[in-house]
A and B are shown apart, each in its own frame.
Chain A
């Protein structure tokens, strides 16, 4: 049985979305692509390092403001602005993380939340720069003249063209994240997650690695925020609000923090559900909450975790003789 390269399949399906010719599908797909990067960046902390951050929106917001301000007020081109968004978010993650990693568990979570609320308050009040409560409306789309001049891509709306750019950028970020979690650095993070005390006694400077993970996660959250500001055509203080920090947490738990793609699956599920539910009931938060509770019970390891478990069982199914040790065997009650 040959393995299906799911990553590639999903990526190509993503590339095909603009060909459907629907503004709505492109809109939803953009949302999913950009927000999955946000959730995946959080999972570097949550699933790989064992750090629960309640303030990840701070870096999303900082990235969004940085990118939007550079593009709107300083006319900096898109890619440098986006890179600056990541770097700025990473720099703040370094500053805040320096203090946060000195605490553990719930205290760590509370301090990340406190810093995020500070970021939110500054965005909310600093009228001259961030536009205060009004935010920064009318963030321009990047200049995509080359795409408009290209043969097929030229016929697409600017929203579709931006979606394709975002898809490629996010795919590159995912490749980088994959590489990071598979690297020796990534292995050290899992060691810290499993047992920080023991990690010290194999020569790991636990705080330094936690801080590094925090900065990397902040960087990718910043990229995600930068993209989201453009997609949303505006950046607002609630990008850094604590409810925004809860979203990637819910997505990650929903998708499964134990698997690499879990948060992206969770993000897709969350956004699609949200869309569907808001379209037919005004009591959508209640409905959404109920659906999430049910899903968490149905998929205890998250959607991705449960599915990979099922796949493994299906694969082992036809030839149980070969894999008795690795798969749990059902005990026959009457045997």
Chain B
């Protein structure tokens, strides 16, 4: 599904991501973990086209997407959510999700139809599956943090992605909200056959759903593999898990 070869990114002499190789197969659920500043968000920004890598190649579904602009990568089937909630605050919840349907199905250049009538059914169904049906007409910017995260997930899912990148999907959520979100993600990934790649601080979340874990430390990939294997890895214990225990 996604292959990354020797990707690097430097900012003013500081190497944020350093020669990372990584791959994820169709339908897999993988997590990228690492301490603060390990380069997780930069890594995501490189894959989604937000940043252009200084070296290396990124292949999505056998096609080279290195340096392609975000909107093109998105249209190829990659969705993402952001660490800091990133929605369209002055639009209603319904409009947020509907807009993603419109743009992803390339109806945005239409000057004539009434946008209100487009993809009503799809939008309502998606909102219902996220548990947002009763908030459809609320201004998204006025919702609680947890609900905004759900809206953001809705926006990402409306783009009908094959692979979804989630940057800390449960950041700032209560324990109950976190559990709910994880269950939701698992269900949706299973229903849609989604490939899921996410970063997360909460180890409980990581080990509960990830089938594969990659560990970044100071921009380098220091371990990659099944959760149990990563947990046993000496390097990982030293630099990462060791910090917390």
Interface residues of A (CB under 8 A from B): 179-180, 182-188, 190-191, 193-195, 197-206, 209, 212
Q: Is the CB of B103 within 8 A of A198?
A: no
Residues of B within 8 A of A186 (CB): 115
Tell whether A202 pairs with B109 under 8 Å between CB atoms, given A182-B116, A190-B91, A194-B88: no
Evaluate contact between B102 and A187: CB separation under 8 angstroms: yes
Chain B residues near A205 (CB-CB < 8 A): 69, 71
B90 interfacial contact with A, CB 8 Å: yes
Q: Which one of A180, A186, A198 has the highest number of Cβ atoms from chain B below 10 Å of its Cβ?
A: A198
Whole-angstrom CA separation of A81 from B69 in the bound complex: 41
Task: Assess whether B155 is in contact with A202, with CB atoms less than 8 Å apart.
Answer: yes
Nearest opposing residue in chain B for A192, CB measure: B88
Known contacts A195-B86, A203-B103, A205-B69, A187 near B95 by CB under 8 Å: yes
Taking A184-B118, A201-B48 as contacts, is the C-beta distance between A191 and B71 under 8 angstroms? no
CB-CB under 8 A from A180, the residues of chain B are: 111
Tell me the complex Cα distance, A44–B111, Å. Answer: 13
The proximity string for B residues 78-115 relative to A, scoring 1 for CB distances below 8 Å and 0 otherwise, is 01101000111111000100111011101111111111
The verdict on B75 contacting chain A, using a C-beta distance below 8 Å, is yes
Given A185-B109, A205-B71, 12 more A-B residue pairs with CB atoms under 8 Å apart are: A182-B115, A182-B116, A183-B112, A184-B102, A190-B99, A191-B88, A194-B87, A194-B91, A201-B74, A202-B103, A202-B104, A203-B71
For chain A, what secondary structure do more than half of its interface residues adopt (helix, strand, loop), or is it mixed?
helix
Could you say which residues of chain B place their CB within 8 Å of the CB of A182?
A: 114-116
- Report Cα–Cα, A212/B102, bound state, in Å: 17
Q: Are A200 and B69 in contact (CB under 8 A)?
A: yes
B72 to chain A, nearest CB (A): 8
User: Are A202 and B74 closer than 8 Å at their CB atoms?
Assistant: yes
Contact B115 A183 (CB under 8 A): yes
| Residues in B neighbouring A201, C-beta threshold 8 A | 48, 70-71, 74, 79-80, 156
Q: Give the residue name and chain of the A residue nearest to B102 (CB).
A: A184
Do B115 and A204 touch across chains, with their CB atoms under 8 A apart? no
Are B74 and A191 in touch, CB under 8 angstroms?
A: no
Least Cβ–Cβ distance between A208 and chain B, in angstroms: 9
Indicate if the CB atoms of A183 and B113 lie closer than 8 Å: yes
Query: Within 8 Å CB of A190, what residues of B?
Result: 88, 90-91, 95, 99
Across the interface, do B99 and A191 meet the contact criterion of CB distance under 8 Å? yes
Q: Which residues of A contact B213 (CB under 8 A)?
A: none
Could you give, for residues 104-137 of chain B, a 1 whenever the CB lies within 8 Å of some chain A CB and a 0 otherwise?
1011111111111010000000000000000000
30 A-B pairs with C-beta separation under 8 A: A182-B115, A183-B110, A183-B111, A183-B113, A183-B115, A184-B102, A184-B110, A185-B108, A186-B115, A187-B102, A188-B99, A190-B88, A190-B90, A190-B91, A191-B99, A193-B90, A195-B86, A195-B89, A198-B87, A198-B88, A201-B74, A201-B80, A202-B99, A202-B104, A203-B75, A203-B103, A204-B71, A204-B108, A205-B69, A205-B71
Nearest residue, chain A, Cβ from B101:
A202
Distance (whole angstroms) from the CB of A212 to the closest CB of chain B: 8
Give the distance in Å from the alpha carbon of A190 to the alpha carbon of B96 in the complex.
Answer: 10
Asked if B29 is an interface residue, CB under 8 A from chain A, the answer is: no
Least CB distance from A176 to B in Å reads 9
Given A198-B155, A205-B71, also A184-B88 (CB < 8 A): no
Query: Which chain B positions have C-beta within 8 A of A200?
Result: 50, 69-71, 74
Q: Tell me, rounded to whole Å, the shortest Cβ–Cβ distance linking A216 to chain B.
A: 8
A197–B81 Cα distance when bound, in Å, is 11
Nearest-CB residue, chain B, relative to A198: B86
Confirm or deny: B32 has a beta carbon within 8 angstroms of a beta carbon on chain A: no
On whether the beta carbons of B87 and A188 are closer than 8 Å, the reply is no
A206 pairs with B71, CB closer than 8 A:
yes
**Which of A179, A194, A206 is the one whose CB lies under 8 Å from B89?**
A194
Q: Report if B158 contacts A (CB, 8 A).
A: yes
Task: Verify A184–B108 contact, CB threshold 8 A.
Answer: yes
User: Which residues of B sit under 8 angstroms from A197, Cβ to Cβ?
Assistant: 86
Known: A200-B70, A202-B99. A188 touches B108 (CB 8 A): yes
